[in-house]
Structures are given as C-alpha cells and as structure tokens.
Amino acid sequence: MIDHPDYGYDIAAVRADFPILRQNHHDNVPLIYLDNAASSQKPLQVIESIEQYYKGYNANVHRGIHKLSEEATSAYEGVRKKIRKFINAGSRREVIYTRGTTEGINLVANTWGREFLKPGDVILSTVMEHHANIVPWQILSAQIGTKVMYVPILPNGTLDMDAYERLLRDEPVKLVAVAHVSNVLGTVNPVEDMVKKAHEAGAKILIDAAQSAPHMPLDVQAIDADFLTFSSHKMIGPTGIGVLYGKRDLLEEMPPWMGGGDMISTVTLQGSTWNDLPYKFEAGTPSIAEAIGFGAAIDYLSNLGMETIHAQEQRITAYLLERMSEVPGITVFGPEADQKGAVAAFVVDGAHAHDVAQLLDAEGVAVRAGHHCAMPLHTELGVSATSRASFYLYNTYDEVDILIEALYKVQKTLR
Ligand code: 7TS
C-alpha cells in the first residue's frame, strides 16, 4: 500500500459538499465519477445559490428599477467582478459572459475573425484541439477565404514546438488558437511561450482554457493572452454559462455578433449604436441563475485555493499513471505526469473503448469512451476511440485503486 500524501484540504468535508457522490451508481456499487473532463459535479453551495435566487430575488437584470431587479443585477454583476479577480483580468469590461467555451471561440471567429482576417491569412490551430477550436475556424475559412493549419504533436503527446516556430515564420499566421490543456492527452501546453512567439510573429492568440481554468491558477495578464475562454460546468458551476476574456483594445474595435436587447446604446429605424463593453457582446436576457451559481463555484474553488487544487491533482495524476502502468495490456496516451493534467485516455489491448467503459460502469466507475470531440487527434494516435478517466478535486486515491481493480476485472471478462 502506497503511503498517500495529504490532500492539502479536508477531502471528507469536500466530498460531503457534493450530494451526488453519496449515491450508489447501480444497486450496490458506489459511484466513482471519473468523467470530469466532460462535466464536473456541483456542490451544495452552488445548488443552493441558484435556489436562493429563484426563491428570493428572481428578476431580469439591467432593466426595471424595482428592488428585485436591482438585487439580481447586483448579484449578476458581482460575479463578473469575481471572475475578473479569478483570472486577474485588468478590468471587468474584459469579462464577457457566454454560454461556454464553444460560444467564446465562435464569438471571436464571428467578430474579430470576420473583421480583421483576410483571404489567405492563416489561423494556426493544433492537432490536439477539441472540435470547438477547429470547426469554427474551418467554417470561417470557408466563408472568408482564410486557411487553417495545425501544429503537429510529438510521439510523447506534446506539441512540436519547432514546427510551431517554423509555421509562425513561414506562413502568414494572423491568429493562433490553442488549448491550454488537452482534454484527451492531458498535455499542459507552454502557453506563455506560445503567446510570446505568436506576438513576435505579429499574430494574436486565443487560448482555450476549458481544461485549465478548473484545475490551475490562471493569470491572463501574466499569460498575456489576447483571448481566453472557459466553461463554468467543468469547474463545479452550472451549465449554460462561461467566459470569454479579451484584451480591452481588441474588444473595443470588434463589432458585435448577436443583436438584440441590452447590447445597444441607441436604436432608430435607420440603424443602431452599441453599448459599452462588456454588454456589446451580451444580447438578450442572459443566464442569470447560472451566473449566480458560477459565482458560488468560484467562491468554492477560491476558498480551497487553485494552487492547492492543482498540487493535489498533480499528486493524484502521478499515482494514477503509476498504478495504470502496473496493469499489462493498457496504453495510456499523453505525456508523463509532470506535464499532464488529471486525465488518462487509454486503450485496453484487444478491447473496444466502449466495451471497456460499459464494463467499468457496471463496477460503478463512470468514464467516457469515444473520440471526446477530438477526432483529428485520435486519427493521429492511430485509434478510433479511447476510454478516458478524468479526475477532479473530490476524487480520492481509493477511487484510483477501484479503477485499477475494475480494469483487471474488465480484462478477465474480455479475455
Ligand atoms: N475545449 C476543450 C479543451 C474541451 O475539453 C471542451 C469540452 C470544449 C472546448 C467545449 O466546452 P463546452 O463547455 O463549450 O462544451 N470537452 C468535453 C470533453 O472532453 N468531453 O465532453 C466535453
């Protein structure tokens, strides 16, 4: 038995905050939730904040002068300030609410991309991206004549940085669009270095932080990102809300994308003028309850401390990879633990990823199987599908052990 280091926080107290973790998955087996890269579970603090809003001060925001609307507006805008602090943005005006990462990327493609990219310009993505950071650039390119190119990966699952520099040098790259952390390989990309090199080449850079914002401290000013986007639901908050951070001067010169209420300053039958940031990009009634729940999630994460959460995830990742390496006939994709987030996508020799996931599910272990919205990456890896175990702050070393035991059982069943 390996002597597990401390979690850095009271793991029992944390787990007690997440009601869903108390249930049995099937009749007799407890739930081991290892699908956190897809979506995380929610603590009572988040669930109750939403209930309190609907019970106590539900109203539309930025409208009426009645007390309820003022209370709702103050809570909704208060969360924006929390997000500003959480990512160290220079101003709350740089924090745009979206429905999530996907919408954040599409917003940049449809506003900045349409306004500032020209036929022949190159958008540089990577082969390890989620479809959300590939498809919007392909759609845009089909419409305006830009070209999408991709940074390849090395055999260990890290980006080929020589190729990155070469592409920046040899191609007319105007935008780099890269994931901070891969949702399959877990690779933590050297974004500060990538930003520096993109800027030296005269390109802007968008960072898809869907898999980093939940797991490590983020400082958008230190990274010097032009755009950075993430989703609440992967960081113990509700679905339907996320953030696009953008540098203020860029956001100021971008035209709006969706038109409607709240995003205008004046409207006549002949034309309209736009509201100030961030509202220029927030047409229509927003996800108010979800934003309030997101605020409770940020409070929760901040109270534990993102450094503390990250340090624990690094320990559990090291333990996970060590234990998985003991099981014969299993290939885990991606780099070593010290370069990797808490995710292990793997294949079991002679077994289909979906069968593995189904058998694990019978043991109470919830993992995802498939291409994880990263088909080009799976093609590159030479597999059609992987099973993926992804961890978060409430997962335990005992759950790693249960996963490993379950994997031995799966192998026996499939043999
Ligand atoms: N980018 C990355 C790196 C992701 O992992 C995801 C979601 C997205 C973008 C899209 O986020 P959304 O909140 O807008 O949907 N990733 C996954 C996953 O790995 N399994 O399910 C969703």
- Hey, whose CA ends up nearest to atom 21 of ligand 1? 38
Residue 37 located in a structural domain: no
Instruction: Give the residue numbers spanning the domain of 64.
Output: 48-303
Residue 5 located in a structural domain: no
Residue 200 located in a structural domain: yes
Distance 332 CA to ligand 1 centre (A): 20
The verdict on 58 and 182 lying in the same domain is: yes
Pocket of ligand 1 (CB under 6 A): 37-38, 100-102, 130, 132-133, 179, 183, 208, 210-211, 231, 368, 372-373
Query: Closest ligand 1 atom to the C-alpha of 179?
Result: 3
pTM of the model: 0.98
Instruction: Give the mean model confidence (pLDDT) for residues 130-142.
Output: 98
CA geometry: angle at 225 spanning 220 and 226, to 5°?
120
Instruction: Give the mean model confidence (pLDDT) for residues 245-265.
Output: 97
Percent of the chain with pLDDT over 70: 99
The verdict on 191 and 212 lying in the same domain is: yes
Distance CA 20, CA 366 (A): 13
Distance 130 CA to ligand 1 centre (A): 7
pLDDT of residue 4: 54
Would you say residue 253 has pLDDT above 70? yes
Residues 374-413, buried b or exposed e (16+ Cβ, 10 A)? Answer: bebbbeebebebbbbbbbbbbbbbebbebbbebbeebbee
The verdict on 220 and 231 lying in the same domain is: yes
Helix (H, G, I), strand (E, B) or coil at 276: coil
Would you say residue 178 has pLDDT above 60? yes
Mean residue pLDDT across the chain: 97
The verdict on 270 and 310 lying in the same domain is: no
Active-site position among 31, 135, 163, 373: 373
Q: Which residues in 75-184 belong to E strands, given as ranges? A: 95-98, 122-126, 147-151, 173-179
Distance CA 344, CA 387 (A): 8
Residue 101 located in a structural domain: yes
Distance 147 CA to ligand 1 centre (A): 23
> Across-strand partners of 346?
332, 387
Distance 101 CA to ligand 1 centre (A): 7
The verdict on 63 and 179 lying in the same domain is: yes
Would you say residue 207 has pLDDT above 70? yes
Q: Please, which pLDDT band fits residue 5 given cuts at 50, 70 and 90?
A: low
Query: Closest ligand 1 atom to the C-alpha of 239?
Result: 13
State phi, psi for 375 to the nearest 5 degrees.
-65, -45
Would you say residue 1 has pLDDT above 70? no
Query: Closest ligand 1 atom to the C-alpha of 234?
Result: 13
Is 373 an annotated catalytic residue?
yes
What would you measure as the largest C-alpha separation in the chain, in angstroms?
Answer: 74
Q: Please, which pLDDT band fits residue 28 given cuts at 50, 70 and 90?
A: confident
Would you say residue 103 has pLDDT above 50? yes
CB atoms within 10 A of CB 3: 4
Would you say residue 2 has pLDDT above 80? no
Burial class (CB in 10 A: 0-12, 13-18, 19+), 302: middle
Instruction: Give the mean model confidence (pLDDT) for residues 120-149.
Output: 98
Number of domains in the chain: 2
Query: Closest ligand 1 atom to the C-alpha of 388?
Result: 19
The verdict on 226 and 337 lying in the same domain is: no
Distance 182 CA to ligand 1 centre (A): 10
- Hey, whose CA ends up nearest to atom 11 of ligand 1? 101
